[in-house]
Chains A and B, each alone.
Chain A
Amino acid sequence: MPAPAAEALPGQHILLSFLATQSQISLTRLYSKPSACLALFRLLNALERQIIMNYLWLEGPVSSNTMDVWVTRDGRAPYEAAMRTLASLQVLPSPKPGSNMLQLSPSFKKNFRLALTGGGDHMSFGVPCEKDLAGGVNVEMLDRYAANCWESILHFMVSSGTDGRASRPTKGILYLLDRSGLMAGQGAPKITSEGFQFLLTSPHAQLWTLLLQYLSITNERNIDMVEVIQFLFMLSTMQLGQEYSTEVFTNTYHSVLEDLIDYGLVYKRNPNRIYPTRLATTLTSGSSATTSSSAVSSQAQTGASLSGNSTVATAGGGFIILETNYRLYAYTENPLQIAIINLFVSLRGRFSNLVTGSITRESVRKALDNGITADQIISYLVTHAHPQMHKNNPLIPITVQDQIRLWEQEKNRVQIAEGYLWKEFTASTDYNLVLEHARSTSSVVWENEQARMFFVTPEGHASCRDFVNQRMREGGGFA
């Protein structure tokens, strides 16, 4: 996974870990919009949501003991993890030292209440417009539009610009891909191993990876990051197929809007009016990007339906049939999907709605060399499995799964570590003394008591050398 996702706790949405690093002031400002509160709420997990609900309608602070008695013994660990998340997001700030009174952040409480009850005058859910019947804009058309935009970006990545059919994305997107480390190289960017991994994740995760990158460069561009998040959250609470007026948008919203049109999150037909696409309205639904497969498959469904005209793919979300003899049939004619499958399959035949191929040692080796892991290949196969495959248990033939993992292990038969070998100790006391020091810096890679030898990392070596020298100077001496 690209950098931002690496920090995420298991199962937590990558945006939340990003928000947790923001200042309290920014977060308080973010919570000034009811739509932002609602969208954030939907990104949290079930327990965190329930804790918010427990506190939401209380007027004053309550002692944490009052709430703790509700927690069962088994629930202690998840409960505390949830409380930490909420504290880090400044939704439910930790109590001041010496007190155990807890309450929701006033800004969050006020505006989340407004979101649930309706009312106020914040205009944060978007101002809907009259239906423009003449435009011919419908959900299907929006899906197609979003798919084209998004897939052209991915297709450009996977072909590294060598495929003439893949149109070159705008400068902004190229910059973003470069910044996020998904592609590297000036002028003619090449996809990196992170980029390959990126391609195999769900569309939802891909989208957020890029958007987080977008948020992290807002500073350079003098755009207010909080407003950008508010705008994304606002889009995520809009309804698909409804046109919205941009009259109430701030300047920041307008400048971000142009970029989002490039990504396919927003479609603009009439001046001062926009349609959010499915990419935008599902930003905060399905509670996490790296979530259980139910959400992934619903995302995959979005992804597949994004693939426009391939009818089989849209039917059940999946299009790949994999047999125990490693042969693979993919019912797709989408160049992007074929290109992605080509990353780890050796393709053999192509028909009007079908490509065939097989998973071979060479094809998997090629993928592994590109930095893709065996788990990513398998999880891609699972998420895109054809409905027919769901009759099988397990879904992916166990032989193929195991073999892909074995190929990965085979590649890692040799581990290499640079460093220094310490040897020829005359006395075991000396050996133990220095080894003890090396252990304290946890830099020992290998040790052997009998041979009186151990191997340390370069950092550990420097520390050990200093340790020995100092001891010599102090006259402690070595034999």
Chain B
Amino acid sequence: MRAIKGVLLTCDSAVKQILLTLNEKEAFIVEDLDETHVIIAPDKVERVRQALASELEKNAFSLEANVP
């Protein structure tokens, strides 16, 4: 029995897959719990958050570009 310090990320399964991909570039996942939960290292939270945000941003399309 042991306990490890970490940050629990609760997300949907799509985000989970993105996280796994990101993890391949730079490992931060400490424990892969299940479809919607992962534990990540506490010191990498901010970095992951930003990486995830920019990744999600790629999927957002704005009307702005079309409007003159």
- Complex contact flag A–B (Cβ < 8 Å): yes
Q: How large is the interface on A (under 10, 10 to 19, 20 to 34, 35 or more residues)?
A: 20 to 34
In residues 13-68 of chain B, which contact A (Cβ within 8 Å)?
15, 30-31, 33-34, 37, 39, 42, 45, 49, 52, 56, 60, 62-64, 67
Q: Closest approach, in angstroms, between the C-beta of B46 and any C-beta of chain A?
A: 10
Q: Which residues of B contact A419 (CB under 8 A)?
A: 5-8
Q: Which residues of B contact A425 (CB under 8 A)?
A: 1
Instruction: Give the distance to chain B from A65, nearest Cβ to Cβ, in Å.
Output: 52
Query: A416 and B2: CB pair below 8 A?
Result: no
Q: B62 and A360: CB pair below 8 A?
A: yes
Q: List chain A positions with a Cβ less than 8 A from chain B.
A: 326, 346, 358, 360-362, 410, 413-426, 430, 434, 445-446, 448, 451, 453, 455, 461, 464-465, 468, 478
Which residues of B sit under 8 angstroms from A445, Cβ to Cβ?
8
Number of B residues, CB within 8 Å of A: 29
Decide if B45 touches A416 in the complex (CB within 8 Å). yes
How far in angstroms is the closest Cβ of chain A from B14? 8
Assembly CA distance A362 to B11 (angstroms):
22
Is there contact, CB below 8 Å, between B33 and A414?
Answer: no
On whether the beta carbons of B15 and A413 are closer than 8 Å, the reply is yes
Partner of A423, one of B7, B11, B31, B63: B31
Q: How far in angstroms is the closest Cβ of chain A from B1?
A: 5
| Chain A contacts for B10, CB-based, 8 A | 414-417, 446
A421 touches B3 (CB 8 A): yes
**Contact A420/B6 with A415-B11, A453-B33, A455-B39 known, Cβ cut-off 8 Å:** yes
Besides the contacts A416-B45, A417-B8, what 9 more A-B pairs have beta carbons closer than 8 Å? A416-B49, A419-B6, A420-B4, A421-B8, A423-B1, A434-B1, A453-B33, A455-B37, A468-B1
Q: B47 to nearest A CB, angstroms?
A: 13
Task: Give the residues in chain A near B62, CB-CB below 8 Å.
Answer: 360-362
Docked CA distance A136–B20 (Å): 73
Complex Cα distance, B9 from A445, in Å, reads: 11
* Cβ contact within 8 Å between A430 and B1: yes
Give every chain B residue within 8 A of A448 (Cβ-Cβ). 33-34
